[in-house]
Amino acid sequence: MTKYVIKRLLLIIPIVLGVAIIVFSIINLIPGDPGRRMLGPMATQEQVELLNDQLGYHLPFFQRLGNYLKDLVQLRFGNSYKDGTPVIHTIMSNFPYTLKLAILQTVLYSVIGISLGVLSAVKQYSALDNIVRVISISFSAFPSFWVYMVALLVFSLYLGWLPSSGAESWKSYVLPVGCAGILSASSLQRLTRTTMLESIRQDFVRTARAKGCAEGTVIWKHAFLNAMLPVLNQIGISFGMLLGGTVIAESVFGMPGLGTVIITAVNSKDVPMVMAATVFLAAIFCFLVVMLDVITALVDPRAKAKLTR
Amino acid sequence: MEAQSRQTKDRVPAVEVRDLSVEYHSGGSVVHAVNHISFTLEKGRTLGLVGETGAGKTSTALALMRLLPDRVSVIPNGEIRLKGDNVLELPESHMRMMRGSIISMIFQDPMTALNPIMTVGNQIAEAIRNHASDKMTKEQVNRRVEEVLELVGIPAERKNNYPLQFSGGMKQRVVIAIALACRPDILIADEPTTALDVTIQAQVLALISRLKEQLGTSMIMISHDLGVVVRTCDDVAIMYAGEIIEYGSVEQIYGPGDHHPYTVGLFGAIPDLKSKARRLSPIDGLMPDPSNLPTGCKFSPRCPHCTEACRQQEPPETERDGHIIRCHLFGGEKV
Amino acid sequence: MKKQTEFSDLKRGRGKEIWRLFRRNKPAMIGLVLFLIIVLIAIFADVIIDEEQCYAFSGAPLESPSAAHLFGTDNLGRDLFARLVHGSRYSLSIGIFATILSLAVGAFIGAACGYFGGWLDNIVMRFFDVIASIPGMLLIMVLVMALGQGMQNLIYALMISGVPGYARFVRSTVLNLTDMEYVQCAKSYGTGSFRIILRHVLPNAIGPIIIMLAGSVSGTILAAASYSFMGFGIQQPTPEWGAIISNSRQFMRLAPAYAIIPGMFIVLTAMSINLIGDGLRDALDPRLKD
C-alpha cells in the first residue's frame, strides 16, 4: 500500500508537467508580446524589444517551453509581468482566503446534500422526497453569480446586515458560503439519493435485515456506508475544482483570493502568474485525487485489491 | 406443569401457513405472486418448495421473514404462524428480534449477500449481538464467531477477511454461518446452491443437512432442482403460478402413483441416465403472466389433459394419506 | 426481412412507452411546455420585437418597467425586453451547440478508445487526465483569451472543456457493453467492429447519453452566462443574458429590476431543461423506480 501511494504521488509530476505544457501552448496563442504589455503603449519600441529579449520572448517556442519546464522542476515560478514580484508569493498570500471559502462551502453543501439525499432515498416517493426533488432540480437551474448578486442586494444593500465586500470578519463569509452551499447541495442530494437507492436494493441489505438488525443499523451501517464512496469521491473532486472556481464569489462579494488573482492575471496576460496558478491548482487537484483513492482503498477492500494488484 | 407446557409447545408446528397470498402493486397492475397457499412444517422436518422461476417460492419465503419490500407488496389475506406466533400481527420490533434467532434465511447469491466493506467476522458478530443479552462480553461474542466459523468449515483466523477474499462456495458458508449464528428454530434456504459450481454444490448441501441435524432446526428448502430436494427434504410442495399444486412426502412425490400433470412434466424434463432411449419431454409453453392469471386451473393452458372444466373452475383438492393434488383429474375426494 | 420489422416495432413500442411514462410526470411536462415556449421566443424573436430595439437608445437610462418598456431600460436607455427576447437566441444556441459538439467529438473519441483499447486508449486517456486536472474555469478563460472573445470561440472553449467528460463516459459505457454477451455473440458470428458499435453498442448507450445531455445543456447555458458575466464570453453590446447581468452590476441599487429580470430568464430556461432531463431519466431508467 505504501509503495502504491508513493508511486501515485510520483505520477503527479508528469501530469503537472503535462498541464504546464498544454497551458503554456495555449497562452502562446494569445496575441501581443509581454514587453509591450508590461511597459504600456507609451514605451518606445526599443525599450519593448529590450525587455522582450530579457524575458526570452524572441526564442523559438519550444526553447521557451523547455526553459519554463526547466525552471518549473526547480520550483522557480518566475516574476509577475505586471509588478515584477515573485508570483509564488502572490499566490501563497491569496490562497488561504480561497481555501477557507472552499472548505466552508464544501462542508455546508455536503451536510445539506447528503442528509437530504439519504432522507429522500429512505422515504422514496413520499411527499418529502418529491418536494426535495423539485427544489433540488430548481436550485441547480440558478446561475450562481446571479444568486450572489440578489443576495448581496437584499442582505447588504437593502437590509445592511452583512458587509458588501472584504473578508475581514465572519460576516463576509455568510453570503458566499450560504448561497454556494445551498446551490451546490442540489447536485449532491441527487447523487446521494441515487447511490443510496441502489445500495438499499442490494442483497446484503436484505441479509442485514434477515439477521435482525434494527432499521437504523440497516440504513446507516450497511446501506449508507456503501453508498458513500461515490459521494465522497464527488465531494473530493468538486473541492479540487472549487479551489479554482471561487472566482465568481470573490468577484461579486469583493473578497481577496486566488480567483481574483487569476482573473486579473488572465486579463492582463500576466503569463508567469497564470502558469503558476494553473500548475499550483493542478498539483493540488492531483494530490486530492490520490488521497481520495487512498481513502477509498482504506474503506473498501475491493478498491484496495484493484489498486494494489 | 412446566414439562407439560413445554410438551404442548413442542407440538406446535414450526411453521404454519394458512391461505396466504402475496401481491405486488406497481404502476396500476397487480402481480399475484402467491395465491392462497397453506402448508405446515413440523419441528425438525424439512419441506421442499419446488417450482420454476417466478412460481412464488421466494415471495413465500420473504413473507415468512416479513421482508417483502413494504412499499409495493401487499398480503391481502392469510396467516403465518412461526412457533405459534402470528407473524403478520407482530409489531416490527418484535419481528426484528425473531429474525435471526427464531427464523433465518440463506440467500441464493452469496456473491451479493455479504456486505463488501465489512469483515466476515463482524458480519457474523452483528447477528450474534443483535440477539445476545447485554451481558455477553466482547470476548464471548468473539469466541462464538470463531465457533460458528469452525462449524461451517472456515478456519477461525479468517474472520478478519473481507468477502472478496473468499470463493463463491466459501462465501456461501459465511452466509450459512450468519444464518445459523443464533441457532434459529427455522431455516429457509433459498436456492442455496444455484449460484455455485456443481462440485461445491454437494459440499454445501451436505453442510446444511449436517448442521440442520446437529441443531435440530426445521428447514424450508427452496429449489427448482428435484435432485437437491430428494437428498435433503422430508416433504415436498410443488408450486406453480403462486399455488401449491401438489404436496406430499418425498416418497409420495417421487414414487409412482397419481401425480399432478405439472409434476409429471417436471420429472419428464430431467434427463434419465439409466434409460438412454427415452427422450426428454419438456413442458410446452410458459408460466402464465402473474399479473393476468387464467381463470380455472392456472396450468390448464399448458396441460395435456386439459378439459373445459379446467378452464372454468378452480381445481378441487384431492387428498390421500396426506398426499394432496389440486387437479380436476382426480375428482376431489378426501381419503 | 421479418426480423427487421419486428425489431423496429419493438423500438417504436419503446418510444411510445417512454413517452407514456414521460407524459405522466407532471413537472417534466411543465418543463417541456416551458422549454417549447422559450424555443418559440428564440425562433420568432424578430416577430415579437424588432432586433434594432436591442440597440436603439429608446428611453431614459435605467427606467423602471412600464407599458412602453415592459422590463424597463438599461443604463444606456435600451429596451430590456427586446434585449432579453433576442438574448434567448444566444443562450440557447450556445447551450445546444456546445453540448452537441462536445458530445459528438467526445463520443467518437470515447467509442474508439473503448472499442479498440491498447495504445490509442492509453495515450488519449492520459491526455484527458491532464486536461481534467486543469481547473475548468481557468482552462476556459485561457482558451477564450487565446482564441479571442465572441460567441463562436466561447462555444469552442466550452466544447474543448466538455470533451474529456463525454469521452470517458462513452468509453466506459462501450467497455461495459462490449463485455455483454449479446455483443460477444455478434462478434462470434463475424459482425464487423464498426457495425457492432453502430448496431449494438450505441443504441444501448443512448439512454444514459440522453440523460447526460439534458443536464449538460442546462449546465452549459449556466456556464456560458457565467463566463459572459465575468467578461470572458460574449461582450456588450450583444444582448447575451450573462453579459446583460454583468452590465447591471454597477446599477444594482438604482435599478434592481435590471439585475433581477435577466436572471429569471436564465433560471426558467435552465429549469425547463432540468425538468425535462429528470422526466427522461425516470422514463428511460425505470430501474431506479420500484
- What is this model's ipTM? 0.85
Q: Return the residue of A nearest to B107 by Cα.
A: A207
What's the average model confidence in pLDDT over B313-322? 86
B–C interface: beta-carbon pairs under 8 A: 4
Q: How confident is the model at residue B334 (pLDDT cuts 50, 70, 90)?
A: low
Is A74 found in the same domain as A18? yes
Interface residues on C facing B, Cβ-Cβ cutoff 8 A: 290
Burial class (CB in 10 A: 0-12, 13-18, 19+), B116: middle
Alpha helices, DSSP H only, in chain C? 2-24, 26-43, 45-48, 80-116, 118-133, 136-147, 151-178, 181-188, 193-196, 202-229, 241-248, 256-284
Q: In chain B, which residues have their Cβ closer than 8 Å to the Cβ of A301?
A: 116-117, 162, 164-165
* Nearest partner of C99 among C166, C33, C37, judged by Cα: C166
A293 min Cα distance to partner chain C (Å) = 15
Does any CB of chain C come closer than 8 Å to the CB of residue B70? no
Domain containing C245 equals 23-45+70-288
The CATH number covering residue C206 comes to: 1.10.3720.10
Is A254 found in the same domain as A105? yes
- Do the chains contact at C230 and A269, CB–CB below 8 Å? no
Residue of A125, A208, A225 with shortest CB distance to B117: A225
Is A206 found in the same domain as A72? no
- Residue C220 placed within a domain: yes
- Do the chains contact at C146 and A145, CB–CB below 8 Å? no
A302 min Cα distance to partner chain B (Å) = 7
- Residue C85 placed within a domain: yes
pLDDT per position as a tens digit, B272-298: 555 554 555 667 777 888 888 888 888
Is A246 found in the same domain as A98? yes
pLDDT-above-90 percentage for chain B: 25
- Residues of chain A falling short of pLDDT 70: 308-309
Q: In chain B, which residues have their Cβ closer than 8 Å to the Cβ of C290?
A: 26, 69, 71-72
Burial class (CB in 10 A: 0-12, 13-18, 19+), B243: buried
A residues 212-231 closer than 8 Å to C (CB): none
pLDDT per position as a tens digit, B214-223: 888 999 999 8
Is A248 found in the same domain as A300? no
Mean pLDDT score across all residues of chain C: 81
- Residue C60 placed within a domain: no
Is A39 found in the same domain as A134? no
Does any CB of chain A come closer than 8 Å to the CB of residue C109? no
A residues 120-159 closer than 8 Å to C (CB): 124, 133-134, 137-138, 140-146, 149-150, 152-153, 157
What's the average model confidence in pLDDT over C9-16? 61
- Residue C2 placed within a domain: no
Domain total of chain A: 2
* Nearest partner of B244 among B39, B103, B61, judged by Cα: B39
Give the count of beta carbons closer than 10 Å to the beta carbon of residue B122. Answer: 15
Alpha helices, DSSP H only, in B107-241? 110-113, 120-131, 138-151, 168-180, 198-215, 226-232
Lookup result for grid cell 404454519? B16
Is A300 found in the same domain as A167? no
Lowest mean pLDDT among B38-42, C3-7, C201-205, C249-253: C3-7
Q: Return the residue of B nearest to A222 by Cα.
A: B115
Is A97 found in the same domain as A32? no
Alpha helices, DSSP H only, in chain A? 2-28, 34-39, 45-54, 61-73, 87-122, 127-139, 144-151, 171-200, 203-210, 215-217, 225-242, 247-252, 258-267, 271-299, 301-308
Q: How far apart are CA C133 and CA C110, in angstroms?
A: 18
Query: Residue C85 has what pLDDT?
Result: 86
Lookup result for grid cell 452537441? C100
Does any CB of chain C come closer than 8 Å to the CB of residue B279? no
Give the pairing type, strands B235-240 and B243-249.
antiparallel
Query: Residue B218 has what pLDDT?
Result: 92
Is A302 found in the same domain as A258? no
Which residues are within 8 A (CB) of C181 and not within 5 positions of it... i.e. 6 or more apart? Answer: none
Q: Return the residue of A nearest to B164 by Cα.
A: A302
Which residues are within 8 A (CB) of B164 and not within 5 positions of it... i.e. 6 or more apart? Answer: A301, A302, A305, B116
Determine which of A120, A138, A139, A149 to mutate to test the interface with C (most C C-beta atoms within 10 Å): A149
Q: Please measure the distance between the N-terminal and C-terminal CA atoms of chain B and give it in whole angstroms.
A: 37
- Residue C4 placed within a domain: no
Is A29 found in the same domain as A128? no
- Residue C258 placed within a domain: yes
Chains meeting A at 3+ CB pairs closer than 8 A? B, C
Residue of A26, A244, A267 with shortest CB distance to C135: A244
- Please write down the HEC assignment for all residues of B249-316: EHHHHHCCCCCCHHHHHHHHCCCCCCCCCCCCCCCCCCCCCCCCCCCCCCCHHHCCCCCHHHHHCCCC
Q: In chain C, which residues have their Cβ closer than 8 Å to the Cβ of B69?
A: 290
- Do the chains contact at A209 and B181, CB–CB below 8 Å? no
Domain containing A105 equals 89-266
Q: Is the pLDDT of residue B12 over 80?
A: yes
- Residue C187 placed within a domain: yes
C residues 131-160 closer than 8 Å to A (CB): 131, 133-139, 141-143, 145-147
Domain total of chain C: 1
Does any CB of chain A come closer than 8 Å to the CB of residue C21? no
A240 neighbors A288 (Cβ within 8 angstroms): yes
The CATH number covering residue A131 comes to: 1.10.3720.10
Is A137 found in the same domain as A64? no
pLDDT per position as a tens digit, C208-219: 778 788 888 888
Q: How far apart are CA C49 and CA B2, in angstroms?
A: 95
pLDDT per position as a tens digit, B153-165: 899 999 999 998 9
Is A136 found in the same domain as A217? yes
